[in-house]
């Protein structure tokens, strides 16, 4: 996860993503990605443009990272939208998809709605919650359990390592500065 995260050129996305994972109690996969949700139209196209297909088993991407807005202050903007479980009630759509996202591909986590939604420039559609079924995030964790490291404690441990790396980098920078 950390290697993927540090390849993300949007530094503000590093801390934002930890907040999103913790507040949404979202799982990290064994290959260092994370699970998210997306609502789409009945024909599996994006709610925002009505034309971007989101088919289970495919990778959805924009032409480039620059096509997505990396400013977290912009609540609704350009990019491929995803959300945590808590935001699903605020997100309309006929179908609920399960996404796998590499932290490297996240461009912003807006602060509105308690950091419950985000934007990426690329993600993989790995599943669908059966239409009409009521579910909670623990059930979805079971659906994709072969890829998941369970629980918020894992996210907290990774965040602590991230904070430690940031402090070490700052100390190294300070010690390398000329007097």
The region that residue 158 occupies, defined by phi over 0 for left and psi between -120 and 50 for alpha, beta otherwise, is: alpha
What confidence score (pLDDT) does residue 77 get?
A: 75
Cα 68 to its chain centre, rounded Å, is 14
pLDDT tens string 110-131: 877 666 789 999 999 999 887 6
pLDDT tens string 44-91: 999 888 889 999 999 999 999 889 766 665 767 778 999 888 788 777
Quote the CA–CA distance of 78 and 152 in Å, as a whole number.
29
Residues 6+ positions from 172 with CB-CB distance below 8 Å = none
Quote the CA–CA distance of 117 and 75 in Å, as a whole number.
9
Higher pLDDT pick, 17 / 57: 57
Higher pLDDT pick, 147 / 165: 165
Residue 159 clears pLDDT 70, i.e. is over it: no
Higher pLDDT pick, 165 / 82: 82
Quote the CA–CA distance of 36 and 82 in Å, as a whole number.
6
**What band does 134 get if pLDDT is binned at 50, 70 and 90?**
low
The Cα-based distances of 5 to 19, 26, 58, 91, 92 in angstroms read 13, 16, 22, 26, 29
Question: In the predicted model, what is the mean pLDDT of residues 135-139?
Answer: 54
What confidence score (pLDDT) does residue 87 get?
A: 82
Residues 6+ positions from 132 with CB-CB distance below 8 Å = none
What confidence score (pLDDT) does residue 154 get?
A: 41
What confidence score (pLDDT) does residue 152 get?
A: 40
CB 16 within 8 A of CB 72: yes
What confidence score (pLDDT) does residue 42 get?
A: 93
């Amino acid at each position: 996860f950390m290697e993927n995260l540090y390849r993300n050129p949007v530094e503000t996305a590093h801390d934002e993503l930890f907040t999103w994972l913790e507040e949404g109690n979202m799982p990290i996969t064994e290959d260092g990605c994370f699970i998210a949700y997306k609502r789409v139209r009945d024909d599996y196209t994006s709610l925002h443009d009505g034309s971007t297909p989101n088919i289970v088993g495919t990778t959805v991407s924009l032409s480039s990272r620059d096509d997505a807005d990396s400013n977290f202050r912009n609540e609704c903007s350009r990019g491929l939208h995803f959300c945590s479980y808590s935001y699903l009630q605020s997100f309309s759509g006929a179908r609920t998809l399960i996404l796998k996202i590499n932290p490297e591909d996240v461009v912003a986590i807006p602060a509105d709605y308690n950091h419950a939604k985000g934007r990426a420039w690329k993600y993989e559609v790995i599943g669908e919650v059966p239409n009409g079924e009521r579910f909670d995030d623990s059930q979805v964790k079971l659906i994709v359990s072969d890829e998941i490291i369970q629980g918020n404690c894992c996210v907290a441990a990774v965040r602590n390592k991230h904070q430690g790396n940031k402090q070490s980098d700052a100390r190294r920078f300070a010690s390398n500065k000329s007097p």
